[in-house]
Amino acid sequence: MVEAIAMAHGWEMQHDPAVVVIGEDVGANGGVFRATQGLQQRFGAERVQDTPLAEAAIAGVAIGMAAQGLKPVAEIQFMGFLYPALDQIINHMSRMRHRTRGRLTCPIVMRMPHGGGIHAPEHHSESVETLLCHVPGLRVVSPTSPARAYGLLLAAIRDPDPVMFLEPTRLYRASRQEVPDDGRALPLDQAFVLREGSDVTLVSWGAMIAETLQAAAELADAGIDAEVIDLATLSPVDAATILDSVAKTGRLVIVQEAARNVGVGAEIAAIVAEDGLFDLLAPIRRVAGYDTVMPLYRLERDYIPSVRRIVDAVRSTVADSR
């Protein structure tokens, strides 16, 4: 996936001179995960800039550049280091268009690795999409394959508003896929149905899609036919796709790596309890990170939802059906 991300940067920088890349170690080093590999050599040190080590500055400078006509793509090195930038993102980036009645805008992409599972040090494994999803004026997007990373990142850069782009760390090098470098974007605000099924709807996003698909395969062996939805845009969610699916299956299990409490999964459950309640044959279930700190790596596999937990939740859901 990480090559697809670098490739999308390259395409767009080639075709749009307003696109600039900023972040810590994005230049000579090509990013700590190599997501900006080769860009500085290709486009120069003005358009691909290492910033001083300051996340508020990365976001704030991006806002200033964007308001004056550039399209910054900014990398935050890990999502756990996003917090110093939140003031700029929430108080300015998300509302510059609104505040100025469209006079100044923030066509910015903030990219950052998301989630755990790679035995990283403390603060390098966070899934705190909630903090961004709750903020009006932001789009939050997360890709789950190299092709979707390429297509969604292009869409994010081209979008005239700020997009938070969460890259699942443990998918960076998980799978190989030939992605044509054709400049074709995928749609934002739209979920992808990765697997059709009739017995239960599984909604997930980010790296958890892998476990969710595996669980669906195991469930199929056991005669339970799961539909798998990749949320893709985590905010605002594509409610229609989810509601349509639940109308068909009657059951909903949400899988998220983030802590359960006030997660995006809660929003999805709430939407269905509001607009699809009478379709439900069984209680909704959330399989989620526990409401505790993401532990250091010796315990991370106990924290991140396992295939087993998903399968068990689906089985209970089916068992609890009326």
Ligand X SMILES: Cc1ncc(C[n+]2csc(CCOP(=O)(O)OP(=O)(O)O)c2C)c(N)n1
Q: Which of residues 13-52 bind ligand X (CB under 6 A)?
A: 24
Mark 135-164 with x for binding to other proteins (rule: CB under 8 A) and - for no binding: -xx-x-------------------xxx---
> Under the criterion CB under 8 A, does residue 247 sit at the interface with other proteins?
no
Q: Given the structure tokens 């796709």, which residue do they identify?
A: 241
Would you tell me how many other CB atoms lie within 10 Å of the CB of residue 141? 29
Secondary structure class of 11 (helix, strand, coil): helix
Stretch of 8-16, 142-150, 222-230, 297-305 lying at the interface with other proteins (CB under 8 A)? 297-305
Q: CB nearer to a copy of itself: give 68 or 292.
A: 292
Give DSSP secondary structure letters for 185-251.
PPPSS--EEEE--SSEEEEE-TTHHHHHHHHHHHHHHTT--EEEEE--EEES--HHHHHHHHHHHS-
CB of 112 to other proteins, least distance (A): 14
Q: Looking at 15, 175, 240, 270, which residue binds other proteins (CB under 8 A)?
A: 240
Identify the H or E element spanning 292: none
Pairwise CA distance, residues 209 & 254, whole Å: 11
Residue from 206, 300, 317, 318 touching other proteins (CB under 8 A): that is 300
Of residues 174-203, those binding other proteins (CB under 8 A)? 189
Residue 305 contacts other proteins per CB under 8 A: yes
Shortest Å distance, C-beta 61 to a copy of itself: 16
Query: Greatest CA separation found in the chain?
Result: 63
Binding other proteins (rule: CB under 8 A), the pick from 15, 42, 123, 173 is 123
Residue 74 CB, nearest approach to ligand X (Å):
13
Q: Which of 9, 92, 114, 124 is catalytic?
A: 124
Question: In whole angstroms, how close is the CB of 26 to a copy of itself at the nearest point?
Answer: 21
Choose which of 28, 45, 53, 277 interacts with ligand X (CB under 6 A). Answer: 53
φ and ψ at residue 201, rounded to 5 degrees: -100, 125
Encode 54-121 in three state secondary structure. CHHHHHHHHHHHHHCCCEEEEECCCHHHCHHHHHHHHHHHCCHHHHCCCCCCCCCEEEEEECCCCCCC
275 binds, among ligand X, a copy of itself, other proteins, none (CB under 5 to 8 A by kind): a copy of itself
**Counting contacts by CB under 6 A, is residue 235 touching ligand X?**
no
User: What are the backbone angles phi and psi of residue 42, rounded to the nearest 5°?
Assistant: -80, -40
User: Which class for 175: exposed (0-12), middle (13-18), buried (19 or more C-beta within 10 A)?
Assistant: exposed
Residues 10, 38, 64, 283: which binds other proteins (CB under 8 A)?
64
For residue 252, what is the DSSP state? E
Nearer CB in complex with ligand X: 25/275: 25
Catalytic status, residue 119: no
The dihedrals phi and psi of 21, each to the nearest 5 degrees, come to -120, 130
Residues lying near a copy of itself in the complex (CB under 8 A) are found at 56, 80, 83-84, 86-87, 90-91, 94-95, 98-99, 122-123, 128, 130-131, 133-134, 136-137, 235-236, 258-259, 261-267, 269-270, 272-275, 277-278, 280, 282-286, 290-293, 322
State the Cα–Cα distance between residues 307 and 322, nearest whole angstrom.
25
Catalytic residue ranges? 124
